[in-house]
Amino acid sequence: MTDRPHLAPFLALSAQLTGFSIVDLEGTGMAELYHDVALDRLGHDGLLALLAAEAPPGSGPVEQGPSASQRLIRLWYTGLWDNTLVDPQAYREGLLWRAIETNPPGSRPPGYGTWALEPSLRATLARGLASLLLVLALMLGWGDQAQAASETDLLRLKQVNSCTGCDLTAAALARSDLYGAAISTSDLSGADLSGSLLNDARLVRSTLVEANLENALLIGADLSGSQLSGADLRESHLTNAILRGAVLLDAALDGADLSSADLRQAQLAGAHLAGANLAGSRLQNADLSNADLSNADLRHADLRKAVLDGARLCGADLQEALMPDGRRADGLTPAC
Amino acid sequence: MTATPPSKSASPIQNIEDLRAYLVIAMQIEHATIPPYLTALYSIRPGSNSEAVEVIRSVAVEEMLHLTLVCNVYNAIGGAMANTLTADGFIPTYPTYLPTGETEFEVGLRGFSPDTIATFMQIERMQEEAEDAPLVVARQHSCLGMLPGAGEGQQSFYSIGLFYAEVIRRLFELCQELGEETVFCGDPAKQISQDYYYNGAGSVIVVHDLATAIQALRMIQEQGEGAPRGHRIYASSAVGDHALAHYFRFQQLQLGRYYQTLIPGSDEADTPDAPTGAPMNAAELDYESVYPIKPDLRLADLPEGSDVRAKALDFQQRYSAFLGELERAFDGAPEQLIPAVGSMFRLRTLADELVRTPIPGLEPLHAAPLYTLT
């Protein structure tokens, strides 16, 4: 049996941070694993500093990113350490499910029809307002500013409109004015940028996995080589944007304006492009397999050497489009 | 939840008026470029410099589109057109600085020459910035409530594109503050649509919300200087044919070579300052084949009682009347745009006559159109 001299203080601190009792935490069966993960990721000194509450926010052994305590809260609630699930079991044992009184989807059956029952907030309230707010923040994805993004980086972006190579994960930036911002190679995974003004912003090779960019203004923005898988780009404005080689697997682009956008070599497999405006866009060598292009405007689009296997094109307007085989489309709208 | 910093201006109402004032300045900027372009264009002797004629003509026509687009945005946010295009001072006295507040170069009414083309490139210039530098400063550091212009308490913008960046940001901010419906309160009947706008300079955009307003302003930015990020030399176009931005169109005359927006056998466009297209017809580019017009001509330069003075006065009056017709067309009578354009073409004939006429006492200098309000 491994000796864990710091397990007791680790649990005590965890109880304070999460708003759950030590008994609750032990009940998850994850205490020892999480202790070991924290020890491994923070190092012995890092863990001791955390237990002694010496670590000021944002100054862990990792230079940028959330503080150790923020990471620990996230670990208990979601089973994630820096967006990686530490153990399959950690998913179903996340405190998140208890806090919102539901069962982890796909993991513990909740019982037929129970989804129709109203949740009782009593138990949650008993754990105190702090933990409730935390849960709300996690659910809505905006409180994650304190959870993830480096506060220093976020502040820098807001002050100088520039932050390259920064940790802006889950940053709350909805409806922000980031016109022409320089944010290349930054991590904006899970960030909320919905409705933001990002015209001419430079976001080269940035990570925007699962980011919320709904209705964002990204006209002329440079997103070449960026990771946008699972991002929500519905109704966004991407006219003349550069998305060359960008990865947009399963991204939601319904109703987005991508006219004249450069999407060469973009990976759009499974992307949702229903009703999107792709007029005059450049899609050479793009992978559109299984993408939903129904009712999309593809007039004058250049689809040479693009992969369209399994793509839905019903109702799409292909007038004057250059097809994968290099020929002009016959102008007929594919039937549904 | 919102990350938008609070506005430093006194009130939202002040902000919307501020924004309208910006758009009136935008009308002045767009218009201010037209007389210099047209003067250079008309100074070229018929049958010569056909490539230069096409470059300058195509740019001037797009500036007219830009003026229309600005008026559509202005009307969409409830601006009052009365006394805008016909206001005292709407037409600058040339030579002049652009109303962007930038005082590095002056724009005059000159004949076609290498210097004139260099000035035209300044008009359409773009900001260059390092890879990791922002294009504009963070909102909280900008000067809310300051109008463009030179001097104390005024803001200046390096390029016309950056001036519009500011307009877009103010518009965005106002919509956050007041809601889009409140900001876009204008009468839709005042919008100029394709029904009234005929020519080959792109298409006019009817403005009714934030997205269409930004689209319209974006078209102005891109047609002038291209897309700043990625340093593209062309403006986006839904029909797939990439039109070269004004700056690069003029630069072709300087470098003696055409740009290619699509290099054959590749999917790329030329990079700035390095056109790889066909050479311009050097024999054809003839700066001598230009009427020797008097730079920045004023009425006082033309002798009292002379025929040329009468003709210049006629032009001046018709130009003023033309701006009045435009103002009415933009103020709820879009169908008036069609006769207004007719007046514009009649002005062209008169301008041609002026540049061919020597000024008595100032020979060999010729007259030119007089762009002042009467």
Hey, are the CB atoms on B222 and A221 less than 8 Å from each other? no
Residue B6 belongs to a domain: no
Query: E strands, chain B, where?
Result: 234-235, 243-244
Final residue of a structural domain among B290, B325, B350: B290
Q: Cα(B247)–Cα(B371) distance, rounded to whole angstroms? A: 24
Signed CA dihedral, A40, A43, A48, A49: sign only = negative
Angle at which helix B12-43 crosses helix B160-178, to 10 degrees, equals: 160
Q: What is the pLDDT of residue A56?
A: 46
- What is the Cα A326 distance to its own chain's centre? 36
Final residue of a structural domain among B275, B290, B305: B290
For residues B133 and B222, membership in a common domain is answered with yes
Hey, are the CB atoms on B140 and A174 less than 8 Å from each other? no
For residues B307 and B261, membership in a common domain is answered with no
Task: Identify which of B137, B238, B267 has the shortest CB distance to residue A282.
Answer: B267
For residues B195 and B309, membership in a common domain is answered with no
For residues B219 and B82, membership in a common domain is answered with yes
For residues B25 and B129, membership in a common domain is answered with yes
Is pLDDT above 50 for A63? no
Three-state secondary-structure class, residue A296 = coil
For residues B125 and B232, membership in a common domain is answered with yes
Residue B109 belongs to a domain: yes
Nearest alpha carbon to residue A228 among A213, A242, A248, A245: A248
Q: Scan residues 211-270 of A and list those with Cβ closer than 8 Å to B.
A: 217, 219-222, 224, 237, 239-240, 242, 257, 259-260, 264
Range(s) of the domain holding residue B280? 12-290
Is pLDDT above 80 for A330? no
For residues B50 and B76, membership in a common domain is answered with yes
Q: What is the pLDDT of residue A313?
A: 94
Residue B21 belongs to a domain: yes
Residue B7 belongs to a domain: no
| Phi, psi (rounded to 5 degrees) for B13 | -60, -45
Q: What is the pLDDT of residue B78?
A: 96
Among A90-99, B20-29, B120-129, B218-227, the range of highest mean pLDDT: B20-29
Final residue of a structural domain among B240, B262, B290: B290
ipTM of the complex: 0.86
Q: Cα(B193)–Cα(B207) distance, rounded to whole angstroms? A: 9
Residue B4 belongs to a domain: no
For residues B224 and B371, membership in a common domain is answered with no
Q: How many CA atoms lie within 13 A of B161 on its CB side?
A: 29
CATH number at residue B262: 1.20.1260.10
For residues B256 and B373, membership in a common domain is answered with no
Share of chain A above pLDDT 90, in %: 56
For residues B237 and B310, membership in a common domain is answered with no
Domain count across chain B:
2
Each residue of A102-159: pLDDT tens digit? 778 777 666 666 666 665 554 444 445 545 555 555 555 443 444 467 888 998 899 8
Each residue of B307-353: pLDDT tens digit? 999 999 999 999 999 999 999 999 999 988 888 888 888 898 899 99
For residues B119 and B223, membership in a common domain is answered with yes
Q: Cα(B215)–Cα(B342) distance, rounded to whole angstroms? A: 28
For residues B282 and B339, membership in a common domain is answered with no
Hey, are the CB atoms on A181 and B134 less than 8 Å from each other? yes
Residue B362 belongs to a domain: yes
State mean pLDDT over A182-197: 96
Each residue of B173-231: pLDDT tens digit? 999 989 999 999 999 999 998 887 765 556 889 999 999 999 999 999 998 888 766 57
Is pLDDT above 90 for A52? no
Hey, are the CB atoms on A264 and B140 less than 8 Å from each other? no
Residue B138 touches chain A, beta carbons under 8 Å: yes
Is pLDDT above 90 for B155? no
Quote the longest CA-to-CA distance of chain A: 74
Q: What is the pLDDT of residue A116?
A: 67
Residue A197 touches chain B, beta carbons under 8 Å: yes
Q: Smallest CA–CA separation between B321 and chain A, in Å?
A: 38
Q: What is the pLDDT of residue A126?
A: 47
Task: Identify which of A159, A219, A280 has the shortest CB distance to residue B138.
Answer: A159
State mean pLDDT over A12-21: 86
